[in-house]
């Protein structure tokens, strides 16, 4: 007799992680329009998948050398760190 069932309502990890990678790709391209292609970001995202949001944002900022672009957004978003300046863009997408 079945006594319990477990459901994953999030969808398959492949689907959700690809969408997450695409949100970061959009954020990177908002910081530096047209500079990065979707496949570049998806490949880079594979290096940080599974890490915290802070680690993912920091990792991508480092991989794509976007420190100065993120610095320009700190005041706009009212935050104190580079990763926080990058992350709201990815969340908004």
pTM of the model: 0.72
Using pLDDT thresholds of 50, 70 and 90, give the confidence band for residue 93.
Answer: very low
Q: Identify whether the C-beta of residue 87 lies closer than 8 Å to the C-beta of residue 53.
A: yes
Question: Mean of the per-residue pLDDT values for the chain?
Answer: 80
Beta strands per DSSP E along the chain? none
Which whole number is the average pLDDT over 15-35? 82
Each residue's pLDDT tens digit, 4-22: 766 555 555 556 778 888 8
Pick from 54, 31, 55, 27: nearest CA to 41: 27
Q: Alpha-carbon distance 11 to 32, whole Å?
A: 31
Each residue's pLDDT tens digit, 45-63: 889 988 888 898 899 999 9
Q: In terms of pLDDT, which residue wins out, 66 or 77?
A: 66
Give domain limits for the chain.
13-92
């Amino acid at each position: 007799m079945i006594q319990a069932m477990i459901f994953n309502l999030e969808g398959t990890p492949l689907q959700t992680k690809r969408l997450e990678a695409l949100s970061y790709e959009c954020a990177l391209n908002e910081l530096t329009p047209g500079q990065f292609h979707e496949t570049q970001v998806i490949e880079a995202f594979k290096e940080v998948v599974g890490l915290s949001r802070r680690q993912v944002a920091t990792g991508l900022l480092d991989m794509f050398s976007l420190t100065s672009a993120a610095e320009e957004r700190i005041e706009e978003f009212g935050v104190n760190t580079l990763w926080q300046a990058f992350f709201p863009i990815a969340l908004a997408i």
